[in-house]
């Protein structure tokens, strides 16, 4: 587990040292405070991932430490520890933002399980906070989500290419985010203050392509009551992005090539050459070099566009980014006021096995469907199945015939949790995120009676 910082607060030295010993054995960085005042002073200087604090202390008590920790470091979690357990204080601590409440004397394994889950939630909060900042930033490579080596290399390439005022060909499968790459290049370039004009070459007829790109003069055709600038003129000083450039008709390829060579255009129905200044970014899911060799795409235009090439990896090439991407989309699409749900380990594992032929676009759609299927704070395997449009995960399992059934996974996961908490069902339901009755039914169903339960 990644080393995290935990502040232990207790005015009883023996209790404080025992807690510190348990936490340190798990590899975490431990900080100590002998009372609430010391804890508050520490929190005002240094961030932590988790606070383990006694509730009853002279002067500044655990509730005050909780409030100050959540005020200063919203991503940090707080676990209350007390020898004076009561429902009222537990509810009050939870209401003020405590992650959990542990009564002395506690079982070491139970405490460890709670600490691990609290740290997991703290990490998730930080990831969501980072993702929201990326969404709010609205531009730059921060919008390109992913920490895999391929994505780090892609961001580095974008930063370098953006400063070169040359044509760039962006290649990649459908749904990989080629337009986002192009927009990011523009936003980081010296042309960023000018317009970014996107044009999809695959959705217009040849006649409409000409009038949209080059504009037209008054009377050029029926309905042309006045002259109109084309997209290439309106992009003066900026960037033009040709999406699906491989779909451009051959006759239009000739006209575009001339514009790129001469840096002038003639409007439809006009005779005057008009100077234009724009950078060209083009995207395709085709192998344009092969298309050029086959004669279905002009080789001279290909070499004009392909001054530099950026290859955007498919989702299959960067599967380690799937959990981060899913959390990004959940944070992006969750309705206002609703907590962003977490991914259960099983849900995360299942998402990793699907091939995603639609790439990022498909993954975003699935994340939105998961939000609809899940009405709580934890996305489970059944919500994944619902997002894929089937009740038992068949659509996903077809790609992995060796997958155990959903029931087998659930049985194994419950058994692991029960073993971890030594059969303590109260601790198990908190980790599993279900109520005691549901856990009892599943134990009976799967024959999981634990010897210590």
pLDDT tens across the length of the chain (453 residues): 456 899 999 988 988 898 898 888 888 999 999 999 999 999 998 889 999 998 888 889 889 999 999 888 988 999 988 776 555 676 677 778 888 888 877 888 888 889 988 998 888 877 766 655 555 555 566 678 888 999 999 999 999 999 999 999 999 999 999 999 999 999 999 999 899 999 999 888 888 999 999 999 999 888 888 999 999 999 999 999 999 999 999 999 999 999 999 999 999 999 999 999 999 999 999 999 999 999 999 999 999 999 999 999 999 999 999 999 999 999 989 988 888 999 998 888 889 888 888 999 999 999 999 999 998 889 998 888 888 865 444 444 444 443 454 456 567 778 877 877 778 888 777 766 667 777 887 788 777 764 444
Q: What integer pLDDT is reported at residue 437 of this predicted model? A: 74
- Please name the residues in contact with 11: beta carbons below 8 A apart, sequence gap of 6 or more: 34, 35, 36, 54, 57, 58
- Please name the residues in contact with 294: beta carbons below 8 A apart, sequence gap of 6 or more: none
Give the global pTM. Answer: 0.58
* Structure token pair of residue 388: 């894929």
Q: What integer pLDDT is reported at residue 441 of this predicted model? A: 76
395-425: pLDDT as tens digits: 444 444 434 544 565 677 788 778 777 788 8
> Are 167 and 304 in contact, with CB atoms under 8 Å apart?
yes
Q: What integer pLDDT is reported at residue 392 of this predicted model? A: 43
DSSP-derived secondary structure letter, 356: -
List helix spans (H) across 357-435.
359-373, 381-387, 394-397, 406-420, 425-432
């Amino acid at each position: 587990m990644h080393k995290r910082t935990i502040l232990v607060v207790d005015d009883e030295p023996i209790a404080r040292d025992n807690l510190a010993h348990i936490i340190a054995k798990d590899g975490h960085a431990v900080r100590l405070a002998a009372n609430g005042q010391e804890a508050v002073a520490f929190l005002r200087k240094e961030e932590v991932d988790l606070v383990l604090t006694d509730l009853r202390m002279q002067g500044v008590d655990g509730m005050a430490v909780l409030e100050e920790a959540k005020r200063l470091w919203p991503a940090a979690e707080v676990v209350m520890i007390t020898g004076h357990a009561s429902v009222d204080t537990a509810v009050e601590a939870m209401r003020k933002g405590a992650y959990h409440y542990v009564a002395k004397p506690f079982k070491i394994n139970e405490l460890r399980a709670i600490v691990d889950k609290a740290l997991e939630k703290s990490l998730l909060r930080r990831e969501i906070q980072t993702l929201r900042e990326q969404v709010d930033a609205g531009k730059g490579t921060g919008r390109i989500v992913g920490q895999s080596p391929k994505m780090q290399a892609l961001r580095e390439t974008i930063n370098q290419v953006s400063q070169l005022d040359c044509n760039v060909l962006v290649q990649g499968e459908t749904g990989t985010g080629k337009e986002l790459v192009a927009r990011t290049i523009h936003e980081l370039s010296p042309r960023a203050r000018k317009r970014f004009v996107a044009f999809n070459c695959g959705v217009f007829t040849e006649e409409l392509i000409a009038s949209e790109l080059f504009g037209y003069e008054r009377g050029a055709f029926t309905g042309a009551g006045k002259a109109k600038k084309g997209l290439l003129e309106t992009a003066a000083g900026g960037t033009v992005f040709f999406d699906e450039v491989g779909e451009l008709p051959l006759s239009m390829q000739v006209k575009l090539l001339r514009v790129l060579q001469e840096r002038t255009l003639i409007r439809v129905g006009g005779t005057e050459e008009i100077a234009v200044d724009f950078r060209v970014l083009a995207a395709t899911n085709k192998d344009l070099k092969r298309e050029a060799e086959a004669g279905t795409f002009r080789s001279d235009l290909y070499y004009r566009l392909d001054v530099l090439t950026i290859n955007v990896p498919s989702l299959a090439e960067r599967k380690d980014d799937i959990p981060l991407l899913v959390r990004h989309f959940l944070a992006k699409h969750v309705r206002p006021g609703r907590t962003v749900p977490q991914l259960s380990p099983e849900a995360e594992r299942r998402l990793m096995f699907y091939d995603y032929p639609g790439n990022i676009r498909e993954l975003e759609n699935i994340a939105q469907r998961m939000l609809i299927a899940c009405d709580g704070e934890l996305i489970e395997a059944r919500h994944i199945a619902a997002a894929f449009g089937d009740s038992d995960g068949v659509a996903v399992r077809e790609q992995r015939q060796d997958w155990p059934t959903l029931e087998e996974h659930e049985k194994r996961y419950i058994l692991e949790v029960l073993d971890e908490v030594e059969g303590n069902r109260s601790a198990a339901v908190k980790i599993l995120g279900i109520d005691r009755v549901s856990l009892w039914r599943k134990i009976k169903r799967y024959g999981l009676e634990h010897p210590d339960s």
